[in-house]
Structure 1
Amino acid sequence: MQTIILLLAIGLCAGVIGFLLFRASPRLTFVVWALVLFFVPVWIGATVGFFWAAATGITLVAVVATARSLRLTSVDALVAGFAVLMLGLFVLRLVSLSDAVIAILEWVLPYAWGRVVLARVPGGFVIRVIAAVATVAAALALMEFATGTNPFVLLPAMGGSYEVWAPLQPRGGFLRVEGAFGHSIALGAALAMSSAFVLAAKWATPLKVIALAVITGAVVATFSRIGLVTLVLTAALSIFTLPEITRRTRIAIGVVGVVAAAIIVPFISDVFLDAGQEAAGSADYRTDLLTLLTQVKLLGAAGDWQDLTVGGTYLGYFANSIDNALIVMALRYGAIPTLLLVATMVVVAVRCLIPGRANPASVAVAAQLPSLLAVALITQYGMYFWFMVGLAVAWDVERVARDQDPTRAHEQTDAVARSSRYASSP
């Protein structure tokens, strides 16, 4: 008993010290958060009432430590409306506790972190950290592919999700790389989102090309079709919409992309050909998921549909896995809460197509929309996606504030001028 009390006291002291450090250094907070997100699996965490994954816990601490008053937007109202609905539906027992916890802690909380981070951390720093951490994660994924060993599955099983996410997946004679994300599609989609930050980073063009090549290699090693598609979409949207990218970089990425496609496409085609029925069955399965839409209610969970047969299709076939984020949302929470989330995503995605309003996060969200039809918001991928949504909104708010405040615009102009003088000095 005394040992337990001592451990709790040590844990509490460590938590207080960590919180004070995070409060004093927002940049440190963001770096630690990014490292935990990319390199700590969801089965690592602690049970306090229920199991808290490390990524969820660090996100909560980050929000509390860096929270400031914000200029709210219509998108914030949509997310707040969803959160209020979740609480109400849970009280009315129309949504289970586990589903309500997922919605609040894995979607709404990371969105809130994305919204507040730019109030304390410069956007350029956020870009550099995500670009660097994602590149390192991609390099480790390539090592995983080369060695056939995933070191993250060797970490202790602190949560029940270990049994779900630790097993590795074969395809066409290869093991699909997963990194710390527990699933190849989750890793591929996360790296695809991160590629927008690599392209937006103020790095030399050769360094950008190398980093993007490493990320591309890792996404290829996931053998995830949706990962490859969203990577191409992210790169294309970034090149055409992000003002940070120079003409030289656009040309270099375009040329390297054509060469890479000539090498990658035949290799991927051979792997999927060898995979045969497994790959084809995976694609057919996602089409069959549309049958589940008949069970969706306006508000609340769909109820017990797993023993039903609709139009000759046995719905229990989909009980263990539903690889469609939008259908999962609708079945768990109902049509109206799902529409609120869809509206949030669409508003963010559309804004990146407006000249002068694109940012790396909005590009990442826009390019990920197709993936929501092929994978649920699993492991850290769901948290990372909703962080990107919140970050995209925060970036847009910052841009509007600069446009409306001549003082801030003047300060930014002076900073750019000083930077230019420094760069041109001998």
Structure 2
Amino acid sequence: MTVTELVMLSTGGVAALALFLAARRWPAAALVGWFLVVGFVPFWMGVSVGSYFQPASLTGIVVVAALASVVQVRIYPVDVVVAFFFIACVAPMVVGGGSRSTVFGALALWLVAYLIGRLAPGVVRADWIQAAMTVVFAVVGGLAVIEFVADWHPYGDLGWGNGLQAKWSNIQERGGVARSEWAFGHSIALGATLASIIPLAATAQRVRLALRVTLVALLAAGVLVSVSRISMVCAGVGVAVVLLFGTRLVDRAMRTALVVMALVSLAVAAPFVTGILSEAGDEATGSAAYRGQLTDLLTSFAPLGLSPGLQVAPDGTVYFQGFQSIDSQLIFTGLTYGTFALVLGVVLLAAAVLLTLARRATPATLSVVAQIPVLAVVALITQYAMWFWFLAGLAVATQVAQQVTAGPSPDAVVPRHRDPEKPLPHHGPVRARRQLDSRAR
């Protein structure tokens, strides 16, 4: 190891320790910091230490370690199903049929993000988390609009000049129009992330009505300028599930505002989108046709691990029966991790749908359900991969909270240092311990 590498490693270790201690003391601030990394730092600005760690993963690992040190998880049946899902993703590496990259992605990206969402409500109120993420990503939506209108793409030249930046920093176009990508490296990743926040923004009861309407409008505008059809669909689905199945979560004034905004959005978006798509010609229809052909891969899944249809070209390019880009996370999960993992994932999504239909879904669960169309036609790419799994963890944490009729907090995770018969003060672990010590004295 060179002196430079040793200095960099030491600096990184000190920074990680400082972040860990800060996250334990101020978990709410650490969570907002993670949101900012997801929304404002492109994933190609990470570091390689054996494997490539994107910024959201690096900071997420530290945040998870800090949260895990101050909260204790109560295990519910859904936690067991999720655990088996990740075991199914990792097991092929042990028994054969897996790869280092697929296992790393499942653990360093998906699991880390899931645990942030699952653990955070133990020390930060779920409604505060909802309000905070809504504000952060509404700002992203507003900046995406500026990016589109001004043709200003600040992240194109921002990075280390690595291969990931060369691949993902180029701005996509459709019909001769540059699409907004912001820090996400892909217009669909941006659009899907912003669309996922709309149900949470609409039901953020900590936020005043006028501000909620403004935040939803900014998020919807950001989705529109991504010029991503599936993201627009998901934004519409998100509004629909709130209006139809989330009536207990949103007041009448907000429901009325959502209907008005939906009608205005249709009136504005329809000529805007159809004009761009008509200019795009075969490009837009061709991408849809290609996704339809991916269904041919449904019969090539292995029970566990990589599909036997995997092919690696001499230049290292990976194909599955001749298909290089697998634009469906559901299909990609089956090809990469096997039928068992895919079935468990579908079971979890089906449970979220059933809770929604029963009008028992929390805002995070509504958000996950509204993202199902994206999972069908797009792979989990860039920061969107971690963001979706964060929402999944938050959905689990908030759903099990509704089933708890007695306990230390309305959530299913509680700090280890708390008396289980006393309510949880959401001030962070250090202040909570001081309060207990003063009472003991």
Tell me the residue number matched to 1:28: 29
Tell me the residue number matched to 1:57: 58
TM-score w.r.t. the length of structure 2 is 0.86
Asked if 2 retains the 8 angstrom alpha-carbon contact of 1:107 and 1:386, the reply is yes
Q: For 1:299-338, what aligned pairs fall within 5 Å after superposition?
A: 299-306=304-311, 317-319=322-324, 321-338=325-342
Q: For 1:262-411, what aligned pairs fall within 5 Å after superposition?
A: 262-306=267-311, 317-319=322-324, 321-355=325-359, 357-401=360-404, 403-405=405-407
Matched, 1:81 2:84: yes
The Cα offsets for residues 296-330 of structure 1, whole Å up to 9 and x where unpaired, read as: 1111211344499xxxxx965521x1100011111
The Cα offsets for residues 99-129 of structure 1, whole Å up to 9 and x where unpaired, read as: 1111122222211211101001101210111
Q: 1:206 aligns with which of 210, 213, 234?
A: 210
Asked if 2 retains the 8 angstrom alpha-carbon contact of 1:301 and 1:333, the reply is yes
Aligned length in residues = 405
The Cα offsets for residues 126-177 of structure 1, whole Å up to 9 and x where unpaired, read as: 0111110111000110111012222122211365322332111110121111
- Please tell me the residue identity of whatever aligns with 2:262: G
- Please tell me the residue identity of whatever aligns with 1:259: V
Per the TM alignment, residue 394 of structure 1 is displaced from its structure 2 partner at its CA by 0.2
| Distance in 1 (alpha carbons) for counterparts of 2:409 and 2:338 | 46
- Please tell me the residue identity of whatever aligns with 1:385: F
Q: For 1:128-139, what aligned pairs fall within 5 Å after superposition?
A: 128-139=131-142
Of 152-161 and 45-54, the range deviating more from structure 2: 152-161
Per the TM alignment, residue 407 of structure 1 is displaced from its structure 2 partner at its CA by 9.2
Give the fraction of aligned pairs with identical amino acids, expressed as a percent.
35
Asked if 1 retains the 8 angstrom alpha-carbon contact of 2:193 and 2:384, the reply is yes
- Please tell me the residue identity of whatever aligns with 2:278: L
Tell me the residue number matched to 2:42: 41
* Cα 1:317/1:84, change in 2 over 3 Å: closer
Asked if 2 retains the 8 angstrom alpha-carbon contact of 1:323 and 1:374, the reply is yes
Asked if 2 retains the 8 angstrom alpha-carbon contact of 1:200 and 1:244, the reply is yes
Q: 1:225 aligns with which of 216, 222, 229?
A: 229
- Please tell me the residue identity of whatever aligns with 2:16: G
Matched, 1:171 2:162: no
Per the TM alignment, residue 361 of structure 1 is displaced from its structure 2 partner at its CA by 0.8
Tell me the residue number matched to 2:153: 150
The Cα offsets for residues 59-87 of structure 1, whole Å up to 9 and x where unpaired, read as: 11111101121121222111211222233
| Distance in 1 (alpha carbons) for counterparts of 2:167 and 2:82 | 29
- Please tell me the residue identity of whatever aligns with 1:263: V
- Please tell me the residue identity of whatever aligns with 1:350: L
- Please tell me the residue identity of whatever aligns with 2:339: A
| Distance in 2 (alpha carbons) for counterparts of 1:212 and 1:408 | 27
| Distance in 1 (alpha carbons) for counterparts of 2:213 and 2:53 | 37
| Distance in 1 (alpha carbons) for counterparts of 2:137 and 2:96 | 40
Q: For 1:410-425, what aligned pairs fall within 5 Å after superposition?
A: none
| Distance in 1 (alpha carbons) for counterparts of 2:52 and 2:344 | 27
- Please tell me the residue identity of whatever aligns with 1:101: F
Tell me the residue number matched to 1:418: none
* Cα 1:10/1:100, change in 2 over 3 Å: closer
Q: What SS does the aligned partner of 2:305 have?
A: coil
Q: What SS does the aligned partner of 1:51 have?
A: strand
* Cα 1:283/1:12, change in 2 over 3 Å: same
Higher relative contact order (CA 8 A, sep 6+): 2
Tell me the residue number matched to 2:11: 10
- Please tell me the residue identity of whatever aligns with 1:48: V
| Distance in 2 (alpha carbons) for counterparts of 1:93 and 1:408 | 42
Asked if 1 retains the 8 angstrom alpha-carbon contact of 2:302 and 2:308, the reply is no
Asked if 1 retains the 8 angstrom alpha-carbon contact of 2:326 and 2:379, the reply is yes
Asked if 2 retains the 8 angstrom alpha-carbon contact of 1:242 and 1:358, the reply is no
Q: 1:112 aligns with which of 112, 115, 125?
A: 115
* Cα 1:406/1:335, change in 2 over 3 Å: closer
Per the TM alignment, residue 205 of structure 1 is displaced from its structure 2 partner at its CA by 2.1
Per the TM alignment, residue 411 of structure 1 is displaced from its structure 2 partner at its CA by 9.6
Of 223-232 and 199-208, the range deviating more from structure 2: 199-208
| Distance in 1 (alpha carbons) for counterparts of 2:408 and 2:386 | 35
Per the TM alignment, residue 182 of structure 1 is displaced from its structure 2 partner at its CA by 1.0
Of 277-286 and 155-164, the range deviating more from structure 2: 155-164
Asked if 1 retains the 8 angstrom alpha-carbon contact of 2:364 and 2:391, the reply is yes
Asked if 2 retains the 8 angstrom alpha-carbon contact of 1:26 and 1:66, the reply is yes
| Distance in 2 (alpha carbons) for counterparts of 1:339 and 1:119 | 29
* Cα 1:335/1:2, change in 2 over 3 Å: closer
The Cα offsets for residues 240-273 of structure 1, whole Å up to 9 and x where unpaired, read as: 3153321111112212221221121122111111
| Distance in 1 (alpha carbons) for counterparts of 2:353 and 2:55 | 29
Q: Higher helix proportion, which one?
A: 1
Of 125-134 and 8-17, the range deviating more from structure 2: 8-17
Per the TM alignment, residue 5 of structure 1 is displaced from its structure 2 partner at its CA by 3.4
Per the TM alignment, residue 405 of structure 1 is displaced from its structure 2 partner at its CA by 4.8
Asked if 2 retains the 8 angstrom alpha-carbon contact of 1:325 and 1:373, the reply is yes
Query: Structure 1, unaligned stretches of length 5 or more?
Result: 309-313, 413-426
* Cα 1:351/1:97, change in 2 over 3 Å: same
| Distance in 1 (alpha carbons) for counterparts of 2:87 and 2:4 | 41
Query: Structure 2, unaligned stretches of length 5 or more?
Result: 314-318, 412-420, 424-441
The Cα offsets for residues 335-364 of structure 1, whole Å up to 9 and x where unpaired, read as: 111111121222123223323x22221011
Of 159-168 and 337-346, the range deviating more from structure 2: 159-168
| Distance in 2 (alpha carbons) for counterparts of 1:225 and 1:173 | 16
